[in-house]
Structure 1
């Protein structure tokens, strides 16, 4: 309960200081609306899957590289890699996802080295009479994917309410016969605030009103969204002025682009540079917090 109260207090504080607003999502921009609830590690995937070097590595991916089956007692997908995931590990991943799938649908599991601020749960035995609040609240509302890595460590992806949460499990195996109880834990007290934020953000996965909500953006998520749009436009051979037209509309661009102060042109130059940096390795530091440079191995 103490952890829960801390999370709720942090939630109220965060909502009080973080300004949100709507954005124009007419036409082609609407296809990016799904991003507004994405966590930082899902934004990292969106940038990585646009990296041409990564796409080259991903071409080696085969559907049967990973075994998949359903759990016998719950609607949970069980994944386990059949092969070494050396190429995936180069990019901070535990296995190679399908780059055609977006941040919500792709089975993206980040390594702990690349993404140290994962939500953590400890699994311990429980009696027949005991309940597990995390399990009871998660299974009815979330799509759950379970991964066992080659060292036998277990991870979960929880999908719900427009959010995706990666969870690292310790203690008893989730695949055993014994009933378990899950508890949120914080193993690194030096990163207490970041871990607490990760736990708080993870609670969003339990909501049920995603389809009825209007996308709300912060300044940070707007820049991240616009950066992805810019990369996609560049891939289509569009100019920076064309990108500005997509983002701001033809009328505004015709009015502001010729301005001698060049504020719009400078803004597009910064946006493209920022997006390319995140795509080409910056996601490891700026979005995952892995403290790794773009040319360092995350595994």
Structure 2
């Protein structure tokens, strides 16, 4: 039996974890499950693809490969711009949809259904603009490196794992060492009381949208680099994202990341042991089990 699935599971789990952090932050602040979050992964990946192509066309020097990796300098630059633009997309969606519903004190179920409709609209727009044909940042082949124990990993995969660690650390520092992070935690605890003591709740909401969408963009670019880019990229990851967010405990960033790794490893193990056709079912099983056995998740607060 090969243990290569451990590497595959960690890589998939890192992408799931980053997306789940965005979901758990959004839910803890806005109090609704945003089904459009998966589309931020897809939009981030496609925005980075378009910008990377444009930068390579305008500046041929940016096609030069970055060290041992499969991509040129245009992709990192495009990725940074894509994070900003995906955050702006989230703010625009909030301004024209969710913000109006909040102002009208719309019920939670209305917000959830609105997010479902927004998800369909965003996905359809991607298919209209880019078509449903799979796309790639690069088609360069990489040779996997033996890291011991029969495990092999490519430079791009190692970069994805390292980038995930750096991003999670940055989010932890943002939430624990900065004013906006402390404001986020206060609004998560009690929005009304946070407003009374002078916290700008609207600013916190905008910051949460930007951070959540930015993390989704990073996860989408990673998925596009390691696998492929498709309009259904985010949709296919939506159930694992919610499973990880609930397993980790709503509002817990470390919990979401750890749960993402658990979900990723579980899916990879299922492929290894019982077949690839069962991969999608694993997230559903985990989700149901958590809701039945420990609804507050691994690190969630007791209600």
State if a TM-score over 0.5 links the two structures: no
Q: Which structure dedicates a bigger proportion of its chain to strand?
A: 1
Q: Which structure dedicates a bigger proportion of its chain to helix?
A: 2
Q: Larger Cα Rg: Structure 1 or Structure 2?
A: 1
Q: TM-score range by the shorter chain?
A: under 0.3
Of structures 1 and 2, the one with the larger relative CO (CA 8 A, separation 6+) is 2
Q: TM-score scaled by structure 2?
A: 0.25
Q: TM-score scaled by structure 1?
A: 0.25
